[in-house]
Amino acid sequence: MELFDLTGKVALITGGSRGIGRAIAERMAEHGAKVVISSRKADACEVVADGIKKAGGDALVIPCNIARRAEVEALVSGTIKHYGKIDILVCNAAVNPYYGPLLDITDEAFDKIMGSNVKSNIWLSALAIPQMAERGKGSVIIISSIGGLRGSTVIGAYGISKAADFALCRSLAGEWGPKGVRVNCIAPGFIKTPMTDALNDKQREAILAKVPAARLGTPEDIAAAAVYLASNESAYVTGQTIHVNGGMAMI
């Protein structure tokens, strides 16, 4: 028996051009899924899709800004037109345009964070889940964050949006579980991506002091959890959050 086999499944991943989304797309393709790579710029997605195709996989690029409803609709309909269905939806893209005291945030920045990190996940779910339910099977994976579990003096609004994703996941799991659709979150800790490359040595050391695994995570650490949640091996797991953070949240 092949564990974590995704052969024949179609996976739609937002923010797939780099970082965690890219690793998820590449690992899912290695496990047999046909993958849709999406971010705002087509050329960045094409690089990822070309690599997957060269390795023998099947990938399609559909650019989409997750903050724009019409583009999200075109992403889902374009995927279904090309591949006939969506079995796995990975809501990975997210934004954080504001660093600073929570009470100083502008309405515009707050709405942008909530729109891209929460409302777009509802759009994507509303468009993709019903066709999963028709086949009695599907997996939705929302990439949340350790920021949704803990307070922050600089990224408070981002944390609010990521905490909202936990609640969104639990409610959707309850609503769609009886129809065979599972909805789960992954909450990454500090992962080595362009975002964390911006940390200075002092900040990095302060973070590592709180990580029992004594290293930053990698996009592949997150992709491994995503492959599990997409596969039949997690058939009895829904409404949950898998914390992939090297043990950081426990101390």
CA distances in angstroms from 115 to 89, 92, 106, 130, 218, listed in the order given: 18, 14, 14, 22, 27
Q: Which one, 132 or 222, has the nearer CB to ligand NAI?
A: 222
Task: For tokens 């500090």, name the residue.
Answer: 190
Q: Which two tokens stand for residue 210?
A: 């709180």
Burial of 221 per CB tally in 10 Å (0-12, 13-18, 19+): buried
Distance, in Å, from the CA atom of 244 to the CA atom of 57, rounded to the nearest integer, reads 27
Q: Is 158 a catalytic residue?
A: yes
Q: Which one, 203 or 232, has the nearer CB to ligand NAI?
A: 203
Distance, in Å, from the CA atom of 177 to the CA atom of 185, rounded to the nearest integer, reads 15
In single-letter form, the type of residue at position 13 comes to: I
The residues binding ligand NAI (CB under 6 A) are 14-15, 17-21, 39-40, 64-67, 92-95, 116, 143, 145-146, 188, 190-191, 193-196
Contact 227, 220 (CB under 8 A): no
Q: Which one, 40 or 137, has the nearer CB to ligand NAI?
A: 40
Q: Which one, 63 or 136, has the nearer CB to ligand NAI?
A: 63
Dihedral over Cα of 28, 31, 35, 37: its sign: positive
In single-letter form, the type of residue at position 123 comes to: W
Q: CA 168, 171, 173, 179: dihedral to nearest 10 degrees?
A: -130
Shortest distance (Å) from residue 132 CB to ligand NAI: 21
Shortest distance (Å) from residue 201 CB to ligand NAI: 17
| Residues whose CB is less than 8 angstroms from the CB of residue 246 and which lie 6 or more positions away in sequence, other chains included | 189, 211, 212, 213, 214, 215, 216, 217
Shortest distance (Å) from residue 41 CB to ligand NAI: 7
Q: Which one, 137 or 240, has the nearer CB to ligand NAI?
A: 240
Shortest distance (Å) from residue 61 CB to ligand NAI: 12
Of the residues 83, 98, 99, 158, only one is catalytic, namely 158
Known catalytic residues are 158
